[in-house]
Structure 1
Amino acid sequence: MSTTAPKGSPHPGDLLGIDDVLSDEEKAIRATVRQVCERVVDPYIADWFERGELPAARELAKEFGQVGLLGMHLTGYGCAGMSAVDYGLACLELEASDSGIRSLVSVQGSLAMFAIWRWGTEEQKQQWLPRLAAGEAIGCFGLTEPDHGSDPGSMRTRARKDGTDWVLNGAKMWITNGSIADVAVVWANAGEEHGGIRGFVVPTDTPGFSAPEIKHKMSLRASVTSELVLDGVRLPADAVFPEVRGLKGPLSCLNEARYGIVWGALGAARSCLESARTYSIERQQFGRPIASFQLTQAKLANMAVELANGQLLALHLGRRKDAGTLRHEQVSVGKYNNITKSIEICRTARTILGANGISLEYPVMRHANNLESVLTYEGTAEMHTLVVGQVLTGIAAFR
C-alpha cells in the first residue's frame, strides 16, 4: 500500500498549509538546512545516540558555519543576518534530525554568540564572533549550577577583583558544548560593589578552567554536555562585559534560545508523526494495515492537529519577533505549549509503533527522550507556566 498522501491533500507535517504563507527565501533556507542534515547528520545520528557521543561535533560546526547557520539571526562579524522566521525554520529542521544537533547550533548562536554580540566590547566581538560564525571555534554558556537552575540569582560562582584582574571560582552544570568549547561565556556574582552578576568571556585554555564531560545520561546523548570548573581562573580587566549587570544579561540570552526551541521541538514532533504514519500504513494486523483502525486514525489526527497548532504559534511569534513586538511572556507561551505538545506527539507515535517504538531503528524513542531534556532547559515548564500566571494576575508566585 502506498504511503503517500491522497492527491491534493496536504503533507502530513503541514496539515494547515503553512508552506503557503512562507516566502520563497524562507522555504529555500529550510530546504538548505534539511539537505545539510540529510547529508551529515541523518546517516549517523542513531549510532551517535546509541554510543552516547557526538564525535563529529567540530566537523558539524564547520559544515553549519559554511551555510551560515551559526548566529544566523545576528548581523555583522561574519553572521548571516537572517530573519527570526528563517532561524526558527532552521531550528525545526535541525531538531527533526536530533535535539542534540539543534542544541549545538542554538547554544553556539543564541547563547554564546548572542551574549558577545549584544553585551560584549568591540574587541570581544572582533576576536570571537567571526570564528564562531564560521564554526572555526566553539562556544558555550555557563549559567546553570549544580544547586541553582531555576534560581540563577543565587549562583555561587564568584568573581573577585585582584588589582585590575578578575579571578573566577565556582562550577557550572549541564553545559552544552562545554568540553569542546574554545570560549565560554560565564556568569558570576561579583558582589554588590561591582554590579552583582556579571558576564565574562573566558578562553577555555585559561589556567584553572576545566570542563569534564557528563556521560551518564539517557537524553541528548548525541550532544556534548559538561560541567565547567573554575578554580582561580584569572582574567584581564577587559574580559568582563562592560555595561550589563544583574540577571538582565543572561536572561536576554535565554530568551533568544527559548525562541529557537519553540520551533525546534516541532521538528522532533514532525519526525515522529511521519514515522508513525508511514508505519501505520505498512504494518499489517488482523489482515489489514493498522492505519485502517479508527483509534489509530484518531491518534494520527490528534498529532497532526497539535503539530499544526504549534506551527501556527511559532510562525506568529516569529513574525512578531521580526517586527520587534515579541514579548518575553509570549516566548514562554510558545516554549510551554510546543514542548509539552511535542512530547505528547512523540509518546503517541510510540504507541502506534508498538514495541518497535523503542528501537533505534526508528527515531521516535530518541526524540521522546531528547524532549525530556528540552522540557527542562531554558526554563522548566513550571517556570514558564508561572511567567504566564504573573502576567495574568500581576502576582509573582515563584518568589
Structure 2
Amino acid sequence: MSLLQSFSRIKNLLQSIDIAALNKLSQKVDLGKLMDVVSKMSEDDLNKTLKLLMASSGPKKEKPPVNGDFYELAKTLTDEDQVVRMRVRDFMEKEIRPIANTYWNKAQFPMHIIPKMAELDICGLTYKGYGCAGRSALLEGFIAMEMARVDSSISTFFGVHSGLAMGSIYLCGSEEQKQHWLPVMQRMDIIGAFGLTEPEVGSAAAGGLTTTCRKVGEEWVINGQKKWIGNATFSDITIIWARNVEDNQVKGFIVRKENPGFKAEKMEDKMALRTVQNALITLTDCVVPEADRLQNANSFKDTANVLRMTRAGVAWQAVGCGRGAYESALKYTMERRQFGRTIASFQLVQDLLVTMLGDLTAMQTMVYRLSELQDGGILTDEHASLAKVFCTLRMRAIVDHARELFGGNGILLEYDIARFVADAEAIYSYEGTKEINSLIVGRAITGESAFV
C-alpha cells in the first residue's frame, strides 16, 4: 500500500467518525499535532498504525463464555442433579463470592451463611435414610467442585461437617446413634468436626496415635491433643479418635463441646484456608459415656473407611480450586489490555491457558471416574489416593500458571488468585500427603509395602 493510499484510508476513517465523537477526541488530543506526527511517519509505521486503528474501530467479536468444563462433563448429570448443582453454584456466587476475600483476610468464619447453606439440603447427600437424600457420589463431587471453585474454605468447612463428621457416624455409629445425630446434622442444626491429626502425629496416624482412651465403668476417659481440627472452635460435636490403652486399637468417640476436659483453641497465623477455623484440641481426663462411643469403630481400619470416602471429595475440591483459578485467569486475560490489545491475544498467554485447561480437564475426567467407582461400590484406597495425588499436583500447577498471568496483580487479594494460590497449599497436604498417598498406590501396584 502506498503512502498516499494510507493517508486516504486514514482520512476516510476519520470521516466515518461522527461529529460528537470527533469533538470528544479533540478534547483529548490536539488533532493538528496528531496529523503532523502522522505526516512524518514512514510508510511501514503508518500501515501498522492504520492496522491498529482499523482493528480497534471494527465490530467487536463476541467473546466465548468463561467455562472450565471443556469436555462438558456436567451435561451428563440428570436434570434433577443439574438443578441441585446450579442451586449450589447460585449460592456460592451470590452469598459467598462477595464476602470470600473479606472473611479470608480477617481469618473469620461467616456464621450467618450456615442457615442459608442448610436450605440447600445437601448435607450427607450420599447417605441413605436419616433425612439424607441418598444421591450419587458423582453429584456430591460436582457440589464439592462448585464450592471450591469459588472458595476452598467453604468447601472444606462443608466437607468436614458433611463428610468426615457425619460420615464417621454413618459408617461407624450404631443405629441409635445414627437416628439421634444424623438428622440434626443434615439440617445443620448441629455442626460437626473430626479430630484425628495430632501435634506430633500426622501421616503416622494409623499406628501412632498418642491420644489415649481407657474405660472406667460405663465411661471412657480420654487424654491427649488434636491439631488442625477444622470447625472445632464452634462445632457442637467433634469425632475424636483415640488409642485404647487396653487393646491398643483405635476407637472413635462423639465428644460434645460442653464435655468437661474438652478445650478447643483457635490456631492463628495460617497462610491458607484462613476462613476455616482450625483448632488445637486438648483433652484432659475428658469423660465420655459409653453411649457416645462409636459402636462400630473398633480399629483404624474403620477410621480408614471414612477417610477413603472423603479423600475422593478432596480430589474434587482440588479440581474446584484449579477450575476457579483457571476461570479467573481466563476472564482476566480477556479484559486486561497491554500494547493496545487484550493479553488473551498473545501466543505465550494462550499457551499457558491451554496448558492449564489440559491439566484441569484431565483432573475432571479422573474424579468423574472416581465417583463412578464409588457409586458402583468398588472404590478402593488406592483409587482415592491416586486421584488425590494427581489432582492436587496439577491443581498446584494451574494456580501457579494463573498467578503468572495476573502479573503484579496476582498478589492482590481483590483479584482472588492470591487466595487460590494460598489455599491450594492446604489442599495439597491434608487428607494424606502426596508421599503417603503415593505409597498407598505403590503398595497396590507392586504388592510390596514401602511404609516404614
- Tell me by how many angstroms 1:210 deviates: 0.9
1:176 aligns with 2:257: no
Question: Is the aligned partner of 1:48 residue 2:103?
Answer: yes
Mapped to 2, the partners of 1:359 and 1:121 lie a distance apart of 49
Per the alignment, in what secondary structure is the counterpart of residue 361 of structure 1? helix
Q: 1:79 to 1:20 in 2, by over 3 A?
A: closer
Change (3 A) 1:19 1:241: closer
Q: Measured at CA, do residues 302 and 88 of structure 1 come closer, stay the same or move farther in structure 2, by a change above 3 Å?
A: same
Supply the distance in 2 between the matched residues of 1:330 and 1:237 (Cα, whole angstroms). 35
Structure 2 CA distance for aligned equivalents of residues 70 and 172 of structure 1? 25
Deviation at residue 4 of structure 1 after TM alignment: 5.8
Is 1:21 aligned to residue 70 of structure 2?
no
The alpha carbon displacement at 1:192 in A equals 4.3
Alignment of 1:363-378 (within 5 A): 363-378=416-431
- Residues in 2 aligned to 1:216 and 1:326: alpha-carbon distance in whole angstroms: 37
- Secondary structure of the 2:270 match is coil
SS where residue 365 of structure 2 aligns? Answer: helix
Contact 2:124 2:166 survives alignment (8 Å): yes
1:32 aligns with 2:61: no
Asked if the contact 2:66/2:331 (under 8 Å) is kept, the reply is no
Contact 1:15/1:305 (8 A) holds in 2: no
Identify if the C-alpha distance between structure 1 residues 179 and 16 changes in structure 2 by more than 3 Å, giving closer, same or farther. Answer: same
Q: Distance in 2 between matches of 1:132 and 1:92?
A: 22
- 3-state SS of paired residue (1:29): helix
State the match for 1:357 in structure 2.
410
Give the alignment's Cα RMSD to 1 decimal. 1.6
C-alpha separation in 1, matches of 2:451 and 2:192:
31
1:327 is matched with 380
Preserved contact between residue 173 and residue 297 of structure 2 (Cα < 8 Å): no
The amino acid across from 2:301 in the alignment is K
Distance in 2 (alpha carbons) for counterparts of 1:199 and 1:129: 16
Which of 279-288 and 325-334 deviates more? 279-288
How far residue 301 of structure 1 moved from its aligned partner, in angstroms, is: 0.4
Partners of 2:113 and 2:172 in 1: how far apart?
27
**2:174, 2:296 within 8 Å by CA — same for their partners in 1?**
no
Q: Which residue of 1 aligns with 2:448?
A: 395
C-alpha displacement of 1:323: 1.3
Tell me how far 1:62 sits from its aligned partner: 2.4
- Aligned equivalents of 1:177, 1:274: Cα separation in 2: 29
Do structure 1's residue 121 and structure 2's residue 174 form an aligned pair? yes
Q: Do the aligned partners of residues 326 and 355 (structure 1) sit closer, same or farther apart at CA in structure 2, a change above 3 Å counting? A: same
2:152 equivalent among 73, 86, 99:
99
Asked if the contact 1:30–1:89 (Cα under 8 Å) also holds between the matched residues in 2, the reply is yes
Query: Compared with structure 1, are the counterparts of its residues 169 and 3 closer, same or farther at alpha carbon in structure 2 (3 Å cutoff)?
Result: farther
Counting aligned pairs with the same residue, the percent is 36
SS in structure 1 of the partner of residue 413 of structure 2: coil
Deviation at residue 11 of structure 1 after TM alignment? 5.5
CA contact (8 A) 1:3 1:281 kept: no
Q: Distance in 2 between matches of 1:163 and 1:359?
A: 57
Instruction: Provide, for residues 314-370 of structure 1, a one-character-per-residue CA deviation record: whole Å limited to 9, x for no partner.
Output: 111111211112222111111111111111111101100101011111111101111
Which residue of 1 is the match for residue 196 of structure 2?
A: 143
Pairwise CA distance, 1:109: 1.1
- Matches of 1:256 and 1:177 in 2, distance apart? 19
Q: Please give the per-residue CA displacement for 1:133-182, whole angstroms capped at 9, x wherever unaligned.
A: 11111101110000000011211111012222110111100000011111
1:220 alignment partner, SS class: coil
Q: Which whole-Å CA distance do the structure 2 matches of 1:369 and 1:3 have between them?
A: 35
Is the Cα contact below 8 Å between 1:63 and 1:135 reproduced in 2?
Answer: no
- Compare CA radii of gyration and give the structure with the larger one: 2
CA distance in 1 between counterparts of 2:105 and 2:350 reads 31
Unaligned runs of 5+ in 1: none
SS of the residue corresponding to residue 255 of structure 2 reads strand
Contact 1:343 1:371 in 2 (8 A): yes
Moved more, 210-219 or 270-279: 270-279
Could you tell me how far 1:101 is from its partner in structure 2? 0.4
* Residue 259 (structure 1) shift: 0.9
Partners of 2:379 and 2:305 lie apart in 1 by 13
Q: 2:138 aligns with which of 67, 85, 88?
A: 85
CA distance, structure 2, for counterparts of residue 355 and residue 277 of structure 1: 16
Q: Which residue pairs with 1:381 in the alignment?
A: 434
Residue 284 of structure 1 aligns with which residue? 337
Aligned to 1:293: 346
The question of whether the paired residues in 1 share the 8 Å contact of 2:428 and 2:434 is answered with yes
> Which range moved further: 123-132 or 203-212?
123-132
CA distance in 2, matches of 1:377, 1:116: 21
Taking CA–CA contacts closer than 8 Å with sequence separation of 6 or more, which of the two structures ends up with the larger relative contact order?
1
Q: Is 1:185 aligned to 2:245, yes or no?
A: no
User: What TM-score, normalized by structure 1, do the two folds share?
Assistant: 0.95
Q: In the alignment, which residue of structure 2 is the partner of 1:197?
A: 250
Q: Per-residue displacement from partner, 1:177-234 (whole Å, max 9, x unpaired)?
A: 01111111101111243x6111111111111111101121010001111111111111
Match of 2:208 among 154, 166, 174: 154
* Structure 1, 149-158 or 124-133: larger mean CA deviation: 124-133
Q: Distance in 2 between matches of 1:216 and 1:78?
A: 38
- Whether the aligned pair in 1 keeps the contact of 2:389 and 2:434 (CA below 8 Å) is yes
The alpha-carbon deviation at position 3 of structure 1 amounts to: 9.0
Letter of the 1:164 partner, please give it: E
String of CA shifts for 1:262-292, please: whole Å, max 9, x gaps: 1111111111111111211222222222112
Maintained 8 Å contact 1:208/1:230 = yes
Residues 240, 4 of structure 1: CA spacing in aligned structure 2 closer, same or farther, 3 A cutoff?
A: farther
Q: Distance in 1 between matches of 2:61 and 2:214?
A: 63
